């Protein structure tokens, strides 16, 4: 039995009263996160002042770093700082998880600052504002499906209906194949979702969808003009075009943002215009997500080995001429999904070194064309072979992987 961590998200269909209650819980989570951050900042300021007086480090005021420290402070001080909480009927689990979220942000910042965390630098946590979105968390299995069409949320009156069937989850919870370890409720563009974090046994699912041993291996070259060129070791080459969801929505977004800018602050029209902009952005995100999930699932189930590039997406986004197109493509999410899905279905994923010259190397003779530029979509090697830039790169990635 191989158990993994997996998310399971369903859209909710709450009543107006339930929407109001969920909005209050989101406000509570935001309040506690900001309260915890104020406590941390005050402790840091006190430590800095004590250092100026020559107080040794071991005697400095202890900063509340951990979730336990922050939760103890909240329990001790909420009668004074939030007297409305005791009789509000709000779930006591939400502040606990808000403290955990803030503590996790602190750990990530410190690990990044001290070089223990890879990737882009993580900044010091900032105050959470209403414009950052509404969301709150429950710990353990406080949130559970009540039926195949409803969920039970602590602090929310009644059972909250879902817009999707929950039988996939309820069956696995019933026979012990899945266990809920947390849940997040989130709002976007006026719509609400609950995401279950699961500890789940996927062995049955993975075995049923296991990639065949004689399935082809492939190399994948990612690009902006053509999202993916997939070269199989059978000699076939497939070109996959991305929906370019953001580009397709630019005209509607431009009009919606103009209407939002013209609307008077605090007016009903401004609220309608804001919801329109949010709905368009949500539509873009869903189109991109659907495309990436369908493509990565198909590849993980039909290719025994996959070679990809190691792209510096953060560096590409810094180029103002490419930033929008790179963000619209979702290269980083594509690689992330391939990583865990190939693990599920028994495929192998191999990433080339970031400086590997996949486009400049002739796949026929191996000579590197150092003069190749981004504008050159095709080129002819000194050996006489004419290459399509993307097709050649995909073949080189496949050859460099040495699949077994």
Domain boundaries, the chain: 3-204, 211-253+281-401
pLDDT of res. 9? 96
Active-site amino acid positions: 221, 309, 390
Which of these ranges, 183-187, 219-223, 302-306, 314-318, has the smallest mean pLDDT?
314-318
- Angle made by CA atoms 151, 143, 138, in degrees to the nearest 5: 140
Percent of the chain with pLDDT over 90: 76
Contact 326, 313 (CB under 8 A): yes
Strand order from edge to edge, sheet including 160-161? 144-145, 150-152, 160-161
- Cα torsion at 77, 80, 82, 88 (round to 10°)? 100
Residues with Cβ within 8 Å of residue 152, at least 6 apart in sequence = 143, 144, 145, 146, 159, 160
More confident: 85 or 317 = 85
Furthest CA-CA distance within the chain: 81
pLDDT of res. 351? 93
Position 354 confidence tier, pLDDT thresholds 50, 70, 90: confident
pLDDT of res. 208? 92
pLDDT of res. 316? 86
More confident: 264 or 315 = 264
Position 120 confidence tier, pLDDT thresholds 50, 70, 90: confident
Position 1 pLDDT exceeds 60? no
When computed from its CA atoms, the radius of gyration of the chain, rounded to whole angstroms, is: 26
pLDDT of res. 231? 94
Give the residue-averaged pLDDT of 149-177: 96
Position 318 confidence tier, pLDDT thresholds 50, 70, 90: confident
Position 404 pLDDT exceeds 60? no
pLDDT of res. 8? 96
Token duo for residue 215: 């399935």
pLDDT of res. 102? 94
- pTM for this entry: 0.89
pLDDT of res. 359? 86
pLDDT of res. 383? 87
pLDDT of res. 185? 97
- Rounded Cα distance, 303 and 96, in Å: 44
Position 384 confidence tier, pLDDT thresholds 50, 70, 90: confident
Which of these ranges, 9-13, 17-21, 53-57, 394-398, has the smallest mean pLDDT?
53-57
Position 403 pLDDT exceeds 70? no
Which of these ranges, 68-82, 93-107, 137-151, 390-404, has the smallest mean pLDDT?
390-404
Token duo for residue 179: 């266990």
More confident: 192 or 380 = 192
């Amino acid at each position: 039995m191989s158990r993994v961590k997996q998310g399971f998200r369903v859209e909710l269909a709450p009543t107006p009263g339930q929407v109001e209650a969920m909005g209050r819980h989101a406000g509570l989570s935001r309040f506690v996160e900001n309260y915890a951050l104020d406590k941390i900042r005050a402790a840091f300021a006190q430590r800095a002042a004590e250092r100026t007086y020559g107080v040794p480090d071991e005697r400095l005021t202890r900063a509340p770093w951990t979730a336990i420290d922050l939760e103890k402070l909240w329990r001790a001080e909420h009668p004074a700082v939030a007297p409305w909480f005791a009789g509000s009927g709000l779930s006591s689990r939400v502040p606990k998880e808000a403290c955990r979220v803030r503590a996790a942000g602190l750990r990530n910042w410190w690990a990044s600052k001290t070089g223990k965390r890879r990737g882009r630098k993580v900044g010091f946590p900032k105050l959470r504002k209403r414009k950052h979105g509404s969301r709150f968390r429950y710990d353990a299995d406080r949130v559970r499906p009540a039926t195949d069409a409803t969920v039970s949320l602590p602090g929310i009156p009644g059972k909250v209906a879902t817009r999707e069937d929950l039988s996939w989850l309820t069956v696995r919870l019933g026979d012990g194949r899945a266990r809920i370890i947390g849940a997040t409720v989130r709002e976007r563009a006026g719509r609400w979702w609950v995401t279950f974090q699961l500890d789940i046994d996927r062995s049955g699912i993975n075995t049923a969808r296991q990639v065949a041993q004689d399935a082809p291996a492939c190399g994948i070259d990612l690009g902006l003009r053509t999202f993916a060129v997939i070269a199989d070791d059978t000699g076939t080459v497939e070109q996959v075009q991305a929906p370019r969801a953001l580009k397709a929505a630019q005209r509607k977004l431009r009009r919606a943002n103009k209407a939002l800018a013209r609307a008077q602050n605090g007016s009903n029209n401004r609220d309608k215009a804001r919801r329109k902009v949010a709905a368009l952005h949500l539509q873009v995100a869903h189109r991109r997500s659907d495309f990436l999930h369908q493509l990565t699932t198909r590849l993980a189930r039909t290719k025994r080995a996959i070679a990809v590039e190691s792209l510096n997406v953060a560096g590409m986004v810094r180029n103002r001429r490419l930033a929008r197109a790179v963000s619209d493509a979702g290269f980083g999410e594509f690689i992330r999904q391939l990583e865990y899905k190939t693990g599920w279905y028994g495929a192998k994923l191999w990433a080339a070194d970031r400086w590997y010259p996949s486009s400049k190397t002739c796949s026929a003779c191996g000579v590197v064309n150092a003069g190749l530029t981004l504008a050159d979509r095709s080129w002819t090697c000194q050996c006489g072979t004419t290459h399509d830039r993307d097709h050649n790169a995909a073949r080189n990635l496949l050859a460099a992987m040495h699949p077994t």
